[in-house]
């Protein structure tokens, strides 16, 4: 079996998991090492004080100052020294080199246990037994040979933090979780980061941006392979859509030629035979068919590679001239177009598509509104909202979602008379979607149709 490499996803999960486990175990072991109930080195100030005490005891036993003390036996001298120093908070003990206690006092049970873990005066230690801290051993030179001295003191402070953790399983579990959390977050980030990049790339494709992302081919081997496959898919989609666009262009060229000849023949027939209802109908339908082919090609071009022409624009420069033209056109039709002041909001996109998208909606409102068309521009949370209202007949509630479909017409007879092809709102919907925006239709408060467009602004 091949050992999982660190470049693979399961290899990284395996490595981070075991590294986290190692850190947690080491942390717990270190906590136990810091536990005062295990043998530990004596702090320097306390060590010097005990060493000084051992030196004083050695001098008192070797060179007694008082005659009464000189006449005592060795054991009596030890008891005298022990008894004199005995108190409720501090006590010294003496043992032979073999560990036998001389002049037993209180806490001798704890002392016997401590002697088994610390019997080398070259490296004295201390250990906590309940609230009794025992330290030692310290060598004491006497005329009868060397003995060891130990010291016991009461631990009056609060229980050490280490003891509070080790003696409480819940707190120990909490510490374990705190230690492991950064590594687990690191693991979660390492696993989800490539997935988020792949998700973002998929969302861009869903919005019509068919561009390969080299960053997808980095990271763990599994995601690197998935990213390479995704980029290959995007390349294949580009090739397919480009082929479709070329096919539509070729079809358009082939259709326009006979349409042009048909209209020329109709014009010649009208010149020779005079105008007739049938010839006028043929010429109207031929013109309408030519317009429909042109709009269909515009929709096709809009859906392919339009993101490559994106640039940063301000809304006033982008739409002001078009709005003024539309306002003039509405006045020629004895209608009123009103809009609030455009500001220099910054937006990124294809200027031709954005102009065409809003213009199609406004011209529809001018065409089907009775006499009033209102536009409102507003910004909230880096989103530009555009509402277009008219006071025309509107669209039935059940058909509001269908008007953005290509070739869909609410009233065929009306559109046929007005020359509509059913592609204007489809072109607008495609352009808005490519700019990561939304568009929806509903009944207007003016009585006609309301179109609401939202577009993200630059941050």
Residues tagged active-site: 253
- CA–CA separation, 389 and 444 (whole Å): 6
Both tokens of residue 124?
A: 């004295």
Distances (CA, A) of 76 to 73, 80, 235, 377, 442: 5, 6, 100, 104, 109
DSSP 32-88: HHT-TTS-EEPPHHHHHHHHHHHHHHHHHHHS-SSHHHHTS-HHHHHHHHHHHH--S
Q: Given the structure tokens 């109930």, which residue do they identify?
A: 37
- CA–CA separation, 365 and 323 (whole Å): 13
Distances (CA, A) of 12 to 181, 199, 220, 226, 229: 17, 21, 8, 17, 22
DSSP 128-157: EETTEEEEEEEEE--TT--EEEEEEEE--S
Name the DSSP letter for residue 334.
Answer: T
- CA–CA separation, 256 and 248 (whole Å): 12
Judge contact between 399 and 410, C-beta under 8 A. Answer: yes
- CA–CA separation, 97 and 393 (whole Å): 112
Helix axes 221-273, 169-206, angle to 10 degrees: 30
What is the H or E stretch that residue 339 is in?
strand 336-339
Listed residue (288, 284, 294, 191) closest to 249, CA to CA: 294
Distances (CA, A) of 170 to 173, 176, 177, 181: 5, 10, 11, 16
> Cβ neighbours of residue 423 under 8 Å, at least 6 residues apart?
292, 295, 296, 298, 299, 406, 407
- CA–CA separation, 418 and 457 (whole Å): 36
Phi-psi region of 208 (alpha: psi -120 to 50; beta: other; left: phi over 0): left
**Distance in angstroms between the alpha carbons of the first and the last residue of the chain:** 51
> What is the three-class DSSP state of 292?
helix
């Amino acid at each position: 079996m091949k050992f999982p490499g660190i470049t693979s996803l399961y290899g990284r999960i395996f490595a981070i998991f075991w590294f986290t486990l190692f850190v947690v175990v080491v942390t717990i072991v270190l906590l136990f090492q810091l536990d005062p109930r295990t043998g530990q080195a004596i702090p320097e100030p306390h060590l010097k004080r005990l060493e000084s005490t051992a030196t004083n005891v050695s001098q008192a036993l070797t060179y007694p100052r008082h005659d009464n003390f000189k006449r005592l036996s060795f054991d009596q001298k030890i008891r005298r020294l022990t008894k004199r120093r005995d108190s409720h908070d501090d006590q010294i003990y003496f043992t032979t080199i073999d560990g036998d206690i001389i002049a037993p006092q209180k806490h001798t049970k704890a002392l016997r246990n401590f002697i088994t873990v610390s019997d080398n005066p070259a490296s004295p230690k201390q250990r906590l037994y309940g609230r009794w801290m025992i330290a030692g051993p310290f060598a004491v030179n006497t005329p009868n040979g060397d003995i060891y001295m130990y010291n016991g003191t009461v631990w009056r402070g609060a229980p050490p933090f280490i003891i509070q953790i080790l003696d409480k399983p819940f707190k120990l579990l909490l510490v374990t979780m705190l230690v492991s959390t950064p590594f687990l977050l690191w693991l979660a980030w390492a696993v989800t980061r490539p997935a988020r990049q792949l998700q973002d790339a998929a969302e861009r494709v869903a919005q019509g941006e068919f561009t390969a992302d080299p960053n997808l081919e980095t990271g763990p081997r599994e995601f690197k392979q998935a990213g390479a496959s995704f980029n290959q898919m995007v390349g294949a989609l580009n090739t397919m859509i480009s082929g479709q666009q070329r096919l539509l262009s070729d079809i358009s060229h082939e259709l326009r030629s006979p349409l042009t000849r048909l209209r020329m023949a109709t014009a010649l027939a009208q010149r020779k035979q005079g105008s007739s209802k049938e010839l006028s109908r043929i010429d109207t339908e031929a013109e309408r068919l030519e317009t429909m082919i042109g709009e269909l090609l515009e929709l096709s071009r809009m859906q392919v590679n339009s993101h490559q022409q994106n640039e940063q624009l301000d809304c006033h420069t982008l739409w002001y001239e078009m709005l003024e033209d539309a306002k003039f056109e509405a006045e020629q039709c004895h209608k009123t177009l009103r809009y609030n002041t455009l500001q220099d909001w910054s937006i990124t996109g294809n200027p031709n598509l954005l102009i065409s998208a809003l213009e199609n909606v406004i011209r529809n409102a001018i065409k089907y509104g009775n006499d009033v068309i209102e536009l409102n521009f507003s910004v909230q949370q880096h989103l530009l909202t555009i509402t277009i209202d008219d006071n025309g007949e509107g669209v039935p509630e059940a058909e509001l979602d269908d008007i953005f479909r290509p070739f869909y017409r609410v009233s065929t007879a009306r559109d046929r008379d007005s020359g509509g092809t059913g592609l204007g709102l489809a072109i607008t919907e495609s352009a808005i979607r490519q700019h990561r925006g939304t568009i929806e239709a509903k009944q207007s408060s003016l009585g006609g149709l309301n179109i609401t467009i939202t577009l993200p602004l630059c941050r």
